[in-house]
Structure 1
Amino acid sequence: MPFKVVETAAADEQGAANAGWHLHYAQMSAGQFRGRLVEADLAGVQVYEEYMNTRIEQYYQAPQDALVFSFDMADASLYLLDASTQNLWITPENYREIAVVVQQDRLGARQLNPLFEELLLTPLRSAHGGLFMRWLSATLGQMAEAADTDPGAAEHLTLQLVDDCLFVLEQSSQAQQGSTIRRVRQHRRIVQRVQDLVSAYPTEHFSAVQLADCAGASFPQLRMAFAECVGMAPTAWLRMRRLNLARQALLRARPGETTVADVAMRYSFWHLGRFAEAYRALFLESPSQTLAAGIS
């Protein structure tokens, strides 16, 4: 049974460590990033627990042909995802998540009713969810300490996980009313349009008006959408995003290939002193230190 424990020191390393997902991670609060991923592959069912100490922007799409039961360990909420699910949000600090990724063929005759599509990315809560989440975290910890796992026991655990996840889903209730769910979905669409724009033009510095225009929203709507779905103002989010892209460019640079000024201006930071100050505040090192580390 493939099993891994990965300790990471950068947000992009954390994102790359999670197999099967389309992920983008970027650091959104100051500090030296520390992350941990514990992952088990149980032949058709992937189980993982993730920890990250700083706030992280996550933009993700769930694996193909899979149903994901994701538990936010802060408030014991269950989030249901499938391959159609795309989402951009920013985690709190010291974020922990535990998830079960079930291949559709593992569900067999228990394929979900289409009505469950209404539950995608909706916080679901139940007493059973909290108990299951804690049990699964303890089980993963025991597996991490064991030298190996009996194949028969692994198969039994796989079947139990599928049954338990479906039971928790059936016992859960929506934590939001219908009007709130509709508003959140509208806000997610606004955020998605902005994400598509800035992904297509990663070096551009867009104004809030430009972002609102591309999203087909007013500025107050844009601000509310980002406050609810991302947790920060759109211009602050965009600035953090460009700082992360600049960091990746500095780390990838080869000797004599570029300078800090080249990278800063590539990502629309025209005042080098302010760029260096903002960069150090976020990553606790200067851009020149990152450049030196990347080429050493």
Structure 2
Amino acid sequence: MVDGRAAGRVSVRTNDVDQACDIVGEQFYPNRLDLLDPAQRLDAAFSVVRCGGVTVGDVRFGGDVRMRVGELGAYHVDLPLSGRLTWRQGRSRERLADTGRAGIFAPVGDTVLDRWEADCRLIAVKISRPVLEAELHRMTGKPLRGPLRLAAEMDVTGGPGRSWAWLARMLADEAGNDGSLADHPLVGPRLREGLVRGLLVAAGDRHRDGLTGPGPATAAPKSIRRAMAAVQDEPDHPYTVGRLAEIAGVSVRALQQGFRTHAATTPMGYVRDVRLGRAHRDLCAAAPGTVGVSEVAHRWGFVHLGRFAEQYRARYGVNPSATLRAG
């Protein structure tokens, strides 16, 4: 679940290349920014909102620039509203993002924006790796096996890409609107969650069958669904395999087979995954200095902090303390 705390907002306009570079570094990624034509005068504008692992910004430079970023460490989409952007990542060929196609960047691979044209104004969407990968796990009910790969480009002229682009533009428009529904604790988190889930549906080609088909809990027998529901309702309960078998009304052996078949894990592995998800949610949502990793871990039944950190890192790719700092 994407954090529902009040969003952090930044709105800046500058003619200074170094200041523009610093703003991009503070709001998105450390970078090297170069004005390609010394005769041009930079006219950069940024309107950015950050909340719970999701950053949405309306960005332009007003001059032809090149930006070298290195590895992003997050999933990122550039959605031009005007003009064009040529870019490449890792060893991939040079790609073009324009008003009909968004560019989608992976967390790994050196990233270069070879030419951000002077008239290119775009919506930049940064989604932290833990947030997007945890959402995929929640949507499919299955642990992520191997890296999450999104399509490198997304058609935004029709279909789910167009709908996703509309939502990204709407959230960017609200970045400067105090008191908007995007800030409401009952609405804002759902909008940002829709942005994250929508990207998986629109660009997650490799996972589309799992996202659009029935989930494992739907396909599972009622007995297994009862056990899953109990864990979802009270993940901090001290479950044992025997107790889950009692809840399901089946033998321990049948329970284990059912979880292997319908959840691709063991009963206690399912308990651990649900607890990790709740811990991740709380770490993302915590305001700086208000809670510690150990408190969150104990809240969700993890008594061995070293093992918790190891399991968390294996699932989310970062230490729990890093999630807490990024929240």
SS in structure 2 of the partner of residue 152 of structure 1: coil
Letter of the structure 1 residue corresponding to residue 57 of structure 2: Y
Single out whichever of 28-37 and 149-158 deviates more from structure 2.
149-158
CA positional deviation for 1:62:
4.8
- The 1:142/1:20 distance shift into structure 2, 3 A limit, reads closer
Structure 2 unaligned runs (5+)?
1-6, 82-97, 138-143, 207-327
Match of 1:133 among 165, 172, 183: 165
CA positional deviation for 1:136:
2.3
Q: In the alignment, what sits opposite 2:43? A: 34
- The 1:3/1:57 distance shift into structure 2, 3 A limit, reads same
CA positional deviation for 1:54:
0.8
Q: In the alignment, what sits opposite 2:118? A: 93
CA contact (8 A) 2:103 2:153 kept: yes
CA–CA separation in structure 2 for the residues paired with 1:118 and 1:106 = 15
CA positional deviation for 1:147:
4.2
- The 1:5/1:31 distance shift into structure 2, 3 A limit, reads same
CA positional deviation for 1:157:
1.8
Matched, 1:48 2:57: yes
Give the TM-score normalised by the residue count of structure 2: 0.46
CA positional deviation for 1:115:
7.5
CA contact (8 A) 1:69 1:165 kept: no
Give the TM-score normalised by the residue count of structure 1: 0.50
Q: In the alignment, what sits opposite 1:124? A: 154
SS in structure 2 of the partner of residue 83 of structure 1: coil
1:103-114 to structure 2, matched below 5 A, reads: 103-107=128-132, 108=134, 110=136, 114=146
Q: In the alignment, what sits opposite 1:3? A: 9
SS in structure 2 of the partner of residue 90 of structure 1: strand
- The 1:103/1:87 distance shift into structure 2, 3 A limit, reads closer
Q: In the alignment, what sits opposite 1:167? A: 201
Q: In the alignment, what sits opposite 2:32? A: 24
Decide which structure has greater helix share: 1
CA contact (8 A) 2:164 2:195 kept: no
Matched, 1:72 2:93: no
CA–CA separation in structure 2 for the residues paired with 1:109 and 1:142 = 23
- Give me the CA root mean square deviation: 2.7
CA contact (8 A) 1:76 1:130 kept: no
Match of 1:152 among 167, 173, 186: 186
CA contact (8 A) 1:25 1:56 kept: yes
CA–CA separation in structure 1 for the residues paired with 2:109 and 2:186 = 33
CA contact (8 A) 1:9 1:32 kept: yes
Letter of the structure 2 residue corresponding to residue 78 of structure 1: A
CA–CA separation in structure 1 for the residues paired with 2:179 and 2:166 = 22
CA positional deviation for 1:37:
1.1
1:51-98 CA-to-partner distances (Å, cap 9, x unmatched) read 12110011113543x221222333332222233132221112211221
CA–CA separation in structure 1 for the residues paired with 2:127 and 2:119 = 26
CA contact (8 A) 2:123 2:172 kept: no
CA contact (8 A) 2:106 2:150 kept: no
Letter of the structure 2 residue corresponding to residue 40 of structure 1: V
CA contact (8 A) 1:12 1:26 kept: no
Letter of the structure 1 residue corresponding to residue 136 of structure 2: R
Q: How many residues align?
A: 169
Structure 1 unaligned runs (5+)?
173-296
